Amino acid sequence: MLASVGVHTAEDSAAAPAVNRLVIRADQGKTTISRNIYGHFSEHLGRCVYEGYWVGEDSPIPNVRGIRQDVVAALKRSKTPVLRWPGGCFADEYHWKDGIGPREKRPAMVNTHWGGVVENNHFGTHEFMDLCEQIGCDAYISGNVGSGSVQEMMEWVEYLTSDASSPMANLRRQNGREKPWKVRYFGVGNESWGCGGNMTPEYYADQFRRYNTFVKNYGDSRLYRIACGASDFNYNWTEVLMARVGRRMDGLSVHYYTIPTGNWGRKGSATDFGEDLYHATLRRALEMETVVTKHGAIMDQHDPQKRIGMIVDEWGVWTDVEPGTNPGFLYQQNSLRDALVAAVTLNIFNQHADRVKMANIAQTINVLQAMILTDKEKMLLTPTYHVFEMYAVHHDATLLPTELQSADYSYGQDKIPAVTVSTSKDKSGRIHATFCNLNPNAVAEVNCALQGAQAGKISGRVLTAPTIQAHNTFESPQTVQPASFSDFKVQAGGFSVTLPAKSLVALEIE
Ligand code: AHR
């Protein structure tokens, strides 16, 4: 990193021009960035599933078989690759047989984790698989270890994926689905160290081995089996799972949330914050680098070939709920700050694409760091949605190695790099670079050396806004949205780009 250019105050960092250098090794890529890094997570929580996706067949809101179409269209447009469901904590109290058959006959339950509301089970297995088919994404199902049984999990997998004439496959046919679905990803428990059963890693490792034995591959179905992983910096959990489960799993999860204040009791507002909490939030988000590197190093010791994927299946900003809303519904607004958190985090995942094979931001609609907010028939796209749409260029592209020297963005005693980046080459040979300038007070000029390729034509898009708190509302849904961008110059050996303050910029280089 270059010497710090901002020192302690906003005024200082506004005055100091940032000097940043990037080298892109355009001829040295060998790792594919899995499109699943851009995955989502949707739980039976607040208004995510009900109202968010599910409005019912009789709703005046345009829907196909009860699933609202504005939401499906938006998620298709941003190329959603995979969707995790039904939880979260809810998954370990969900009994899938309550969510099949005629809707009026499905038993209701109380969602004890999230608001104590009645869950009528109208959105179940068939509705979820229909949703995935409508979006065109893969399904990632989270099975119940905490309060379920081996038999229940075994039967769910049979119901979903078997084409035999067997009890569960026949029950599926009776409920209107002749052919099995294509389910690729299956999670065995969620947060088993906490809401999923308060287990020790040793106990959970044995539970995984037992449950997984009965999670069968039917016909040509080959499930990618994901074991419940650690929270944050709990490296012992990863060590125990790698040692005791090892080759029996395909993926090991990890959860890391960004809490603006770092205090779960008072997390901070989604929109009412100053530069202190803006800086702190981004600093905490950048800790994802430590999480991925350190869990990855433990995985490397047991799995140097990197066969087992790191699956970051819950991440994102978690703030206090919007005033006046049900605290159990986790409804929060989404600002330019959230967009920058998403952008730096996705840059980190891209850079670690050799190990990170999937990530699922929490949660898609109306909950935590959402892509979409709804209010009855109205729907808006959040700043975070736009990041996912702009970054879709990296899906299944080849990661290009980079070296970045960034100036610092300082606030008080704390400093973080002002600039982050990731670059890839897509199948048609175009290079994509996604830059963030986290400094809200100064532009960042980046001199980019392009090795092994020539910059011919460059085009760009930018996401920024007049303030770090800017967000979209139902009255003003386009306050934060991408715009075209042209503040770059082709020069000998590469190009330079001037990133606006508090922005993310996506460049395409041909
Ligand atoms: O995403 C909200 C909750 O956070 C999930 O249900 C749980 O897995 C995590 O603690």
Environment class of residue 46 by beta-carbon count within 10 Å: exposed (0-12), middle (13-18) or buried (19+)? buried
pLDDT tens column, 86-98: 999 999 999 999 9
pLDDT tens column, 405-415: 999 999 999 99
Q: What's the whole-number mean pLDDT along residues 482-495?
A: 97
Q: What's the whole-number mean pLDDT along residues 41-61?
A: 98
Percent of the chain with pLDDT over 90: 96
Q: What's the whole-number mean pLDDT along residues 171-195?
A: 98
State yes or no: pLDDT of 10 exceeds 50: no
Question: Which one-letter DSSP state was computed for residue 471?
Answer: B
State yes or no: pLDDT of 4 exceeds 50: no
Environment class of residue 205 by beta-carbon count within 10 Å: exposed (0-12), middle (13-18) or buried (19+)? buried
Rg (CA), the chain: 23
Q: Which atom of ligand 1 is nearest to the CA of 89?
A: 6
CA dist., res. 407 & res. 421, Å (int): 13
End-to-end CA distance of the chain: 29
Pocket test of ligand 1: the residue of 255, 256, 315 to mutate, having most ligand atoms within 8 Å of its CB, is 255
State yes or no: pLDDT of 11 exceeds 90: no
190 lines ligand 1 (CB under 6 A): yes
The chain-wide mean pLDDT, for the chain, equals 95
Q: Name the pTM for this structure.
A: 0.95
- pLDDT score of 36: 98
Q: What's the whole-number mean pLDDT along residues 75-96?
A: 98
Q: Which atom of ligand 1 is nearest to the CA of 196?
A: 8
Q: What's the whole-number mean pLDDT along residues 140-158?
A: 98
β-bridge pairing 109-111 and 63-64: unpaired
State yes or no: pLDDT of 312 exceeds 50: yes
- pLDDT score of 184: 97
Q: What's the whole-number mean pLDDT along residues 437-460?
A: 96
Tell me if 348 sits within 8 A of 292, measured CB to CB: yes
- pLDDT score of 20: 96
User: 88 C-alpha to center of ligand 1: Å?
Assistant: 5
State yes or no: pLDDT of 194 exceeds 60: yes
- pLDDT score of 483: 98
Q: pLDDT band at residue 464, thresholds of 50, 70 and 90?
A: very high
- pLDDT score of 18: 53
Q: Which of 314, 322, 377, 389 is catalytic?
A: 314
User: Which distant-in-sequence residues (6+ apart) come within 8 Å of 105 by Cβ?
Assistant: none
State yes or no: pLDDT of 15 exceeds 80: no
- pLDDT score of 5: 32
Token pair belonging to 303 = 């799995």
Q: Which atom of ligand 1 is nearest to the CA of 114?
A: 6
- pLDDT score of 19: 76
Cα four-point dihedral sign 490, 496, 500, 505: positive
Q: What's the whole-number mean pLDDT along residues 294-314?
A: 98
Q: Which of 43, 127, 155, 191 is catalytic?
A: 191
State yes or no: pLDDT of 85 exceeds 80: yes
389 lines ligand 1 (CB under 6 A): no
Q: What's the whole-number mean pLDDT along residues 196-205?
A: 98
158 is catalytic: no
Q: pLDDT band at residue 328, thresholds of 50, 70 and 90?
A: very high
Tell me if 385 sits within 8 A of 482, measured CB to CB: no
314 lines ligand 1 (CB under 6 A): yes
Q: What's the whole-number mean pLDDT along residues 504-508?
A: 98
State yes or no: pLDDT of 218 exceeds 70: yes
User: 265 C-alpha to center of ligand 1: Å?
Assistant: 16
